[in-house]
Amino acid sequence: MGSTKLLQNMVLAGGLALSATSMAATPSAAMLAGTCAACHGTNGSSVAVIPSLAAAPAEYFVETMKAFKSGARKATVMDRVAKGYSDEEIALMGDYFAQQKLIPMKQGFDKTKLNQGKRLHDKYCEKCHEEDGRKPDVGGILAGQSMMYLTFSMDDFLSGEREMEKDMKKKVNEMLKETDKSSIESLIHFYGSQQ
């Protein structure tokens, strides 16, 4: 450890010791994350329609929770839940889930659609959602998520209920111009097939 870091560590430890009262009222990351598991799966790997949180970048988790909290992103339940956590607690949960390994969801898929989806993915999506959507990125992780959840998400993006990020909007519009609406379904089968 370099001397600057050591100094930081000492200063920090002193500072934390002084604020012991406020620290005592913050649950640990594992404690907070444990409250999510009944819906989002053990350690954030879901076996059903509610999305997995495991391995998603902390930034994505934090941004999403803040959007639920402010109402910028609509939700069925999460808008009510997100308001129950402080920014500090959300940051702890984000880091916790980012460190978990994602266990992809077991689900049925159509082989023809997945092949078409793979071609579409390579052409329109791979640039941001790298490694066939397995690499954590600005949109979390696509591969291994519930296909029904991905369908809900795309429905919301296409209806305008949920705002698409600029690059995504461009690529999705390009794809829908050059193909038809079944391309969305094919992509979803491709992401869902990766188990």
Partner 1 sequence: MISRRNFIKLSGGAVAAGTLVGCAGGMGRSGGGGKVVVVGGGPGGATAAKYLRMFDPSIEVTLIEANAKYYTCFMSNEVLGGDRNLDSITFGYDGLRRHGVRVVHDTVTQIDAAARKIVTKSGATFSYDRAIVSPGIDFKWGAIEGHSAEAAEIIPHAWKAGAQTVTLHKQLLDMKNGGTVVIATPSGAFRCPPGPYERASLIANYLKKHKPKSKVLILDAGDKFAKQGLFIAGWKKHYGYGTSNSLIEWVPAAQGGKVEGVDAKGMAVQAAVEKIKADVINVIPPQKAGKLAFDAGLTEGDWCPINKKTFESKIHANIHVLGDASNAAGMPKSGYSANVQAKVCAAAVVDLLAGREPGFPSYMNTCYSVVGDDHGISVSIVYTFDEAKNEIIAVKGAGGVTPSDASAEALRREAHYAHGWFANITNDIFG
- Can you give the binding site for partner 1, defined by CB under 8 A? 8-9, 12-13, 16-17, 20, 23-32, 34-42, 46-50, 58, 76-77, 80-85, 89, 91-92, 95, 146, 148, 152
Residue 83 or 170 having the CB closest to partner 1 = 83
For residues 127 and 12, give the distance between their C-alpha atoms in angstroms, rounded to a whole number.
40
For residues 185 and 162, give the distance between their C-alpha atoms in angstroms, rounded to a whole number.
18
Residue 36 or 172 having the CB closest to partner 1 = 36
Residues 145 and 137: beta-carbon distance below 8 Å: no
State in angstroms the smallest separation of the CB of 123 from partner 1: 30
Residue 66 or 123 having the CB closest to partner 1 = 66
State in angstroms the smallest separation of the CB of 141 from partner 1: 17
- CA 121 from centre of chain: 19
| The two structure tokens encoding residue 174 | 């390009």
State in angstroms the smallest separation of the CB of 126 from partner 1: 28
CA distances from 14 to 17, 26, 90 (A): 5, 18, 24
Residue 140 bridge partners (DSSP) = 137
Identify the burial level of 109 via C-beta atoms within 10 angstroms of its C-beta, where 0-12 means exposed, 13-18 middle and 19 or more buried: middle
Residue 88 or 174 having the CB closest to partner 1 = 88
State in angstroms the smallest separation of the CB of 178 from partner 1: 28
State in angstroms the smallest separation of the CB of 188 from partner 1: 15
Residue 65 or 141 having the CB closest to partner 1 = 65
Which residue is it, tokens 């870091």? 5
